[in-house]
Amino acid sequence: MIEVRDLLVERGGRPILEGYDLAIANGSVVAILGANGIGKTSLINTIAGLLKPSRGEVHCRARIGYVPQLFDVAFDYSVTDIVLMGRARQVGLFGTPQRRDYDAVHSQLSTLGINHLAERSFNALSGGQRQLVIIAQALVSECQVLILDEPCSALDYHNQAVVISVLDRLSREHGMTVLFTTHSPQHALEIASDVLLMYDSNAFDFGPTARTLSEENLARLYGVEVRKAVFDDDKSFTYAPVFRSR
């Protein structure tokens, strides 16, 4: 269980997040949506303990694995090198990776189905492959909570599908609590048990996806008309923006 109480996060004296109270149950998948610059990354950084709030507190007993936005590395590390770095806590200040650390790397690469990339150069991989590798890096830390910053934002449809299904599987099969930020309501509809809609520094909605995600709320979120679009099979739907460019 992650509990956020009366959070105040400021940057340059200006509040970004004010009065956030959240209780996130174990095993839930939370999609966090909001306009650019609204403070999504600040919120997940605060929950992950990377940003100190000015007031309020975050309670989380479980170990958190944090997956930053897709990045390049300065040196030509292999995938194994990169994933191994997720063992920072286990290896310690003066240690070096041991057999069990390599085993953890191997088992997470298998879980994500990217064993064959182990010896490849990280920088030479495609965006989707790199995203999976940095998810594996967070997972080898033996975390119970996975927090991801826009895991799909730089990916094409196929890779979005791969990442979304990996997150779904981690939650269903491994009981992982997953928090991720996204700009696509469709991602939330696909896998999220709950959504957090961040309207403003002090206004948000947090609740079960089916109840919280609606045309009105999304329109309020982005300041654009959003319509519900039902697929031909009549069983599922999505939300899509209506751009008035003409």
Partner 1 sequence: MSMVSTNETISRQHGRSATPAVLVLFAVLVCLILVSITIGRYDLDVLKVIRILADNLIPASNADWTVLEEQVVELVRLPRILAAVLVGAGLAASGAALQGLFRNPLVDPNIIGVTSGAGFGGTLAILSGVFGYGLLAIAFLFGLASVMIVKVLASSRGRTSVLALVLAGVIISAFFGSAISIVKLLADPHQKLPAITYWLMGSLASTNYEDLLLMAVVMVPALAVIYLMRFQINIISLGEEKARALGSPVATVQWAVLGATAVISAGVVACCGIIGWVGLVIPHVARAISGPDHGRLLPVSILLGAIYMLLVDNIARTVTTAEIPVGIITSLIGVPVFAVLLRRMQSRGGWKSD
Q: Which of residues 30-69 bind partner 1 (CB under 8 A)?
A: 48, 50, 66, 68
Tell me how far apart the 2 most distant CA atoms of the chain are, in Å.
62
The CA distance from 115 to 197, in Å, is 36
| Nearest distance, CB of residue 123 and partner 1, angstroms | 11
Question: What's the Cα-to-Cα distance from 156 to each of 29, 128, 168, rounded to whole Å?
Answer: 22, 8, 18
| Nearest distance, CB of residue 119 and partner 1, angstroms | 6
Q: Does 154 bind partner 1 (CB under 8 A)?
A: no
Closer CB to partner 1, 23 or 73, in the complex? 73
| Nearest distance, CB of residue 83 and partner 1, angstroms | 10
Q: DSSP secondary structure string, 17-29?
A: EEEEEEEE-TT-E
Q: Tell me if 31 sits within 8 A of 180, measured CB to CB.
A: yes
Among 14, 37, 71, 234, binds partner 1 (CB under 8 A): 71
Q: Which of residues 81-100 bind partner 1 (CB under 8 A)?
A: 81-82, 85-86, 88-89, 91, 93-97, 99
Nearest CA-CA partner of 44 in 73, 69, 61:
69
Q: Does 13 bind partner 1 (CB under 8 A)?
A: no
Among 76, 124, 211, 237, binds partner 1 (CB under 8 A): 76
Q: Does 124 bind partner 1 (CB under 8 A)?
A: no
Q: Does 115 bind partner 1 (CB under 8 A)?
A: yes
Q: Tell me if 119 sits within 8 A of 83, measured CB to CB.
A: no
The CA distance from 246 to 92, in Å, is 59
The CA distance from 193 to 111, in Å, is 22
Question: What's the Cα-to-Cα distance from 103 to each of 67, 109, 175, rounded to whole Å?
Answer: 21, 10, 21
- Please tell me the count of residues contacting partner 1 according to CB under 8 A: 37
| Nearest distance, CB of residue 85 and partner 1, angstroms | 5
Secondary structure letter of residue 157 according to DSSP? H
Question: What's the Cα-to-Cα distance from 199 to each of 121, 202, 217, rounded to whole Å?
Answer: 40, 8, 9
Q: Does 199 bind partner 1 (CB under 8 A)?
A: no
In single-letter form, the type of residue at position 237 comes to F
| Nearest distance, CB of residue 80 and partner 1, angstroms | 6
Q: Tell me if 190 sits within 8 A of 237, measured CB to CB.
A: no
Closer CB to partner 1, 66 or 222, in the complex? 66
Residue range at the interface with partner 1 (CB under 8 A); choices 111-119, 157-165, 188-196, 223-231: 111-119
**Which chain residues interact with partner 1 by CB under 8 A?**
48, 50, 66, 68, 71, 73-78, 80-82, 85-86, 88-89, 91, 93-97, 99, 102, 105-106, 109-110, 115-116, 118-119, 137-138, 141
